[in-house]
Amino acid sequence: MEHSAENVVAELTGASKEYRTGDTTIVALNPTSVQFRAAELTLIIGPSGSGKTTLLSLLGCVIFPTLGTVKILNKEINDLSPSELAGVRLNSIGFVFQSFNLLSPLSALENVMQPLLLMGESRKNARERAMKAIERVGMTSRMRNLPKELSGGQQQRVAIARALVTEPSILLCDEPTASLDARSVVTVMDELKHLSTHGKAVAVVTHDPRLKPFADRIIYVNNGTVTDTPSSDDLLH
Ligand SMILES: Nc1ncnc2c1ncn2[C@@H]1O[C@H](COP(=O)(O)OP(=O)(O)O)[C@@H](O)[C@H]1O
Ligand SMILES: [Mg+2]
């Protein structure tokens, strides 16, 4: 069941990314084939500059592959019009970042309402759905607070609520625990684990080996190459 094809939410097939600046070309990601499934938390581990964010950006349809294909929910993103692509990004994908990226003048609740308002939902419905998402991450008692009135761990839980309020199929998290203290790391990872247990595909980029116990699967990125076996450096941790 877990490994059947219909559970595949996102898929790269021979997908690579090169950046050209002037007459130099940087290969950020070598041709990569990898699948992400529902109800699976995948940890993506690698050193700085290895291509982790590039991999996540391809999955998030933020950039197009130089070679190969990216499929989200069985749709090849190269075939989509810009508005269809915007729809996939808004409806099917949730992003969580190291720096939380909450809007500082807005309360926690208003931050979580934003994606729904962008999708054209009424303020009343957006508020109701946002309150449910905030409840799921255990932040109801702080939903009227501004981001600066919350701890890092609490801000990240609000950011997770904002990412999941649209009911995306895949949650892409770029170093979500890098700015957190040890206790908040556990709270946030428990939350992401819970979401994967309840059916979401969750991909978490990190260079923190302490996150390994939360993973259903670990893939390693080294020098632009994705493997499912650790390099000798990773084995030291
Ligand atoms: N927009 C860009 N333009 C040029 N080079 C880039 C760009 N984004 C990333 N790179 C390069 O691609 C490589 C991989 O970057 P990245 O995916 O951000 O690594 P990581 O997230 O693992 O630190 C790095 O050498 C980086 O400098
Ligand atoms: Mg990065």
Burial class (CB in 10 A: 0-12, 13-18, 19+), 157: buried
Residue 51: CB within 6 Å of ligand 1?
yes
Condensed to tens digits (0 to 9), the pLDDT of residues 206-231 reads: 988 889 999 999 999 999 999 998 87
Closest Cα to atom 6 of ligand 1: 19
Residue of 29, 53, 99, 226 best suited for mutating to test ligand 1, as the one with most atoms within 8 Å of CB:
53
Concatenated DSSP letters of 65-93: -SEEEEEETTEEGGGS-HHHHHHHHHHHE
Residue showing tokens 């759905």: 129
Distances 78 to 9, 25, 71, 179 between C-alpha atoms, Å: 16, 22, 9, 34
Condensed to tens digits (0 to 9), the pLDDT of residues 119-153 reads: 999 999 999 999 999 999 999 999 999 999 999 99
Closest Cα to atom 26 of ligand 1: 49
> Which tokens in the block code for residue 193?
């684990």
Closest Cα to atom 3 of ligand 1: 19
Its pTM surpasses 0.85: yes
Phi, psi for 191 (deg, rounded to 5): -65, -45
DSSP structure class, residue 156: H
Q: Write down the CATH number for the domain with range 5-100+168-235.
A: 3.40.50.300
Give me the residue spans of the domains in the chain.
5-100+168-235
Atom of ligand 1 nearest to the CA of 17: 12
